[in-house]
Every structure is written in structure tokens, then in C-alpha cells.
Amino acid sequence: MDDVDIKIIQELLSNSRMTYRELADRLDLSVNSAHKRVQSLVEQGVVQRFTLHLTPKVLPQVWVRVCGKSATVLMDETVERLGANQNTSMVAVSSGNMLHILGVLRDYAEVNKFVNFAIKTGEIADPDIRLPNPPHFQGTAEVSLTRTDYRILASLQENCRKQIVDMAAELCISAKTVRRRLSGMEKGEAVHYRINFDHALLGGVFTLLDLYVNKGVDPQEVIALINRKYAKNLMGVRTFSTLPNEITIDVWTRSLAELKTLQDSLQREGSFSRIVPIMVYHATYFETWREQHVRDHARYDRPNP
């Protein structure tokens, strides 16, 4: 893994369906080089899946994150039991035998039940429960999808980089229809393309940094600063409706020394009362009711528009 590979992963996390030409232009590579690097990441197992999620503009959803030190001694088995719940989207394991369990729920009424499940199954004695804010999607209009739309999305779930012509042949509709319907969903921000990747195979150090923002400091201004100044190492940013003055960022560094340099630089910004690093060993992704929702609606017996 080198800096170019990390940049590719950063771009694919944002939009895993971008073309090789778009990727090449963003990273100042040839199209052939961009293609070879992506294929190499797949062959190495770093990129596990090119997938998609429906956004809250289409499908109401509530996210909850349950974190804490686990008493389990059989971590792999515990992770699998957590993943058996239809609401579990991801489970990460970090230093200190910590579990980070991400649940995607249909509504707030399901929060307590899922949290109790995660605590009991994960054997977490002192849980930290957070409600992450969903990614921001422009506009306010609700997006309504047709059966044809759902059939297209179901076709893309296992590999959202699938070509238009291949989808058209698979679904027995014209390429023009696939392109038009998919373009409409993208413009309406109905779908988010992303990747599942293996943290352990990245090499280097993958770390969650919990940033506690000082009183009087605007968290959005801090996020803008982080995106601008620390983009090279940044793999994700999360905020929480339950913790308005806390930001969690995912960062990748080549070494612990580089991580310390980055953390010291953030501390010198003067915006944080403290910064807590949590090193992640690996993450396991699971399908949820969201993916099943797409498949179910693709099979509905109703007229094609």
C-alpha cells in the first residue's frame, strides 16, 4: 500500500461507481494505471465489495453506535453473533478488546431493543451509546422509486461498478432506460455508492480519533478545517446528535510516529479539549434490512413504469 492506493480508497469511499477516467483525473494517473490499481486492491482483498445504500431521502433510517470494552474471549464468534441481527451493519474491533457496533434501524422505536441486544451479545459492561448524524444530502424533497429503479439497484448491490449494458441485458430492458433511471436516482441523491474494505490489509495504522471540541468552537468550522488540512490521512468524519461537541474522524497513517505527529498537529489547532486515539484492528460488514428492502421491492408484482 502506498499513498496513491490510500487516495483511491478515499475516492471510492465517497463514490465507488466513479469511472476509471474520473478516478484517473482526480489522482493524476493514466486510466490504465487507475484500473490496474483498483484491480490490485480487489485481488489483495483490501477492497471487499463495491456496494450501495439507499439514503434517508428514500428510506427512513436511524443509526446507532454502541461501543465499549468486551469481556468476550472468543471475539470472532461474538462478532458473528452480532452480525446475525438484521440491524447490524458493521462491527469493528479495536485496541483494548473494544467493540464498535453500528446499527441501522427503521425508526427510533427500535433503538432500545438493538442497544440491549448489542450490549448483551457483545458482553459490554460500560457501553458508550451514540446516535450518529446521517450524511448530509442536499434538498428536502422525498424521492419515490419505481419497481424498475429497485430492479436496477438490486442488480448493483453485489457490484455497483457493473456496466450499463450488462445491467440492461440482465434486466431485459434498454440501456437507455437503465441510464436514465440511474441518472435520476443519482441526481435525486437516492443512492450512495461506497466500498467495504479490510482495515487490517491496509498496512500502517488505522485509528479512530475522538475529538472533544472546546466550548464556543463551531464543530462545522472544525470539520471544514480537518477536511482541508488533513485530507491526506482522512478516511471518514462522523458527528453525533447526542454529542454535539464531539467529532470522530477515521485516519490512516503509515506508522505510530506519523499518527503522533498528526495528533499533535490537531491538538495545536486549539479547538479541542482532548483527543482520544483508538486503533482499529479490523471491521466486519453485514447486510441489513436495507439491502433486503431493495430486493423485496425489486420483486413486487406491480406494473413497470
DSSP per-residue codes, 262-300: HHHHHHHTS-EEEEEEEEEEEEEE---HHHHHHHHHHS-
pLDDT of residue 25: 95
Yes or no: say if 212 and 246 are a contact pair by the CB < 8 Å rule.
yes
For residue 181, the one-letter residue type is R
Compute the distance between CA of residue 202 and CA of residue 87 in angstroms, rounded to an integer: 27
* Same fold for the pair 3-49 and 199-283: no
Domain boundaries, the chain: 3-49, 199-283
Compute the distance between CA of residue 212 and CA of residue 200 in angstroms, rounded to an integer: 27
Task: Provide, rounded to the nearest whole percent, the portion of the chain with pLDDT above 70.
Answer: 96
CA dist list (Å): 78 to 11, 102, 119: 32, 14, 11
CATH code for the structural domain at 3-49: 1.10.10.10
Fold of 199-283: Alpha-Beta Plaits (3.30.70)
Query: Each residue of 49-76: pLDDT tens digit?
Result: 999 999 988 999 999 999 999 999 999 9
What lies within 8 Å, CB to CB, of 279 at 6+ separation is 94, 95, 205, 206, 207, 208
pTM tops 0.85 = yes
Compute the distance between CA of residue 28 and CA of residue 6 in angstroms, rounded to an integer: 14
User: Which residue, 235, 242, 239, 233, is CA-closest to 220?
Assistant: 239
pLDDT band (50, 70, 90) for residue 197: very high
User: Which residue, 70, 129, 77, 72, is CA-closest to 105?
Assistant: 129
Query: Each residue of 128-163: pLDDT tens digit?
Result: 999 998 765 544 447 789 999 999 999 999 899 999
Compute the distance between CA of residue 17 and CA of residue 23 in angstroms, rounded to an integer: 10
Instruction: Tell whether the torsion through CA atoms of 256, 260, 265 and 271 is positive or negative.
Output: positive
